[in-house]
A and B are shown apart, each in its own frame.
Chain A
Amino acid sequence: MRLLRPGAITEIVGRSSSGRTSLFTACLGEATAAGGVAALVDADETFDPASAARAGVDLARLLWVRCAGRRDAALRATDLLVRCPGFALVGLDLGEAAPPLPPAAAFRLKFAVERTGAALVIVGRRRVAGAGASLVVETVRAGLEWEGPGLVPTRLARLVAGVRVLRARAGAPAAGAAPVSFCA
């Protein structure tokens, strides 16, 4: 499933520990590995550079904007970034308590990315962009795998999640969830 859609808004939603941030980080890795420049607006300062580097993100090509819990600043920063041509991906991590965007703000972002061609990916607990999003996927944790030499596990091996399409402008949402696993 292709989540990076230039000139469109993609939302990745899901409960905590469902793999949504790992999925988003994989998008960042894909964008920067191709030589593109990405930006991450981090509303709650939860981004972990070490994890991201292991996930394949070229940190030198990543602009990290920390907003110290200020949702309004995060939205304004995103608005600035999506209006600057040249970013392959602009990520907005709204965290757990993200109120829905006003429709005007969502469509403002939508028109901006259509003009500049950036892919805007919004990560959060629930949908915030409404009809402004071209693609909405939900991650659902399917299981955890632990490893260890004995009976007692000593290592978290992987998290298995299902990715379900909630909204897709191009074509009907596929039924069921595609499995994705994240290796620890």
Chain B
Amino acid sequence: MMTSAAPVLLALLGATGVGFGLGQGASPALSTCERIAWAGAVGTLALAMTEVSMLGLGVRPHAAPFLVVAALLVLAGVLLARGRAKPTPASCRARNGRSSLLGIMAVAAPICLFTLEAARSPMWYTDHLAIWGLKAKLITSTASLPRRIFADPSTPWSHPEYPLLVPLTLASLASIAGEWHGRALALVYPYWQTMTVLLVYGYLSRTMSRGIATIGGILVGVSAWLYCPANVGTADIPLAFSFALLSTSVLDSLATESVAPTLRLGIASLYAVATKPEGLLFVLLLSAVVAFHRPTLPRRRASGVAMLLAPAAAHSIAMVVLRGYIRGRDTDWGLLSVPRFQELARRIAAVATRVSAHELPAASVSLACIACLLLLTRRSRADVLIAPLVCQVLAYVGVCAFSAFDPAWQVASAVPRISQCLLPPMIVVLLARAGPLLNPDAKECTGVI
């Protein structure tokens, strides 16, 4: 295990370093934790892009070419950053307080536990075997992007229409390690968890206080239904990271005049759409938020929407060029035709029954807490995220009525699992509201210049 884990860990560390070098322009004046998280996002994107470029050029991916590309990317990042003005310190950092050792340990503990869990077994969950792991293993073992992953009648269940960031990341790590080792590759999932925790912690410590950030870091880290063995090997954990990237960058871009948050919007948008189709939906919803955000100047709104939509459009076009147009087999949009309206009505009723009888009672405690927090606290800047978060969950439920399978089964198997990915942005919203009440010194500020 250790001999295989070491190259994977070194590759992730190297990718973060490359991300630091490349992402300097996008993360001035952020807290250190946020800069690490953004470096992780840029680094893993760079890993996946390097893998696909090598496959396209016919180079067999292995450690040496990755090292060369990493060195070139770091050099490019350093050259680009030369001569750029140093960031002004964030306005409210001085009164944010210091992190206590106990706080840091409390935030780190769930990450350590999940790392132990993830490395306990090779990745085994159905979605990993049938979708993400199968594609990654095919890419690794053939050293190509085989046509089969997009069009093989014998594997219709592998979702050929899904984006490829997760398979390419796993394949690139396997290429660097020189073998497919399920336990070692699983370590990328605690890495994604760490980046998500660091991002939420960093954002809240910059805009609220260290104490609130510690609470946020703990709440994200202990999300035991998101960071659980069943999600190791799937795209839900990186999707949660992409949602956190999108949410914090949208809040920053709406609060400041700076160009950097707009750049981060582009990175986050690409990360989300390249991870899972749900990422594209969240990008579209956030684009609407930015487009209709009245207090923001029209010019800045336009650049924000453009930075959200341009990577999404470019990624969609690239995927269509790569694999052609593929219709997902899980949904039956033919239900929208007039002769099938009655059937659609029956399915909507089945979905509503399932949600009210099972899903709502199961989530009742969490929902009650969220409702209490919203009722007891005052408005904050982060409230702009509430509408897209609610719409996203409603869309998950609504799509189940169009499922090609039993709609009640679809609700049970998908909605709770994919809704968990929205927890990091939800925690940002709740703590941005609760912060000033819990810690009167933690008046909300942008913290970005």
Q: Do A and B bind each other?
A: no
Q: Which residues of B contact A (CB under 8 A)?
A: none
Q: Which residues of A contact B (CB under 8 A)?
A: none
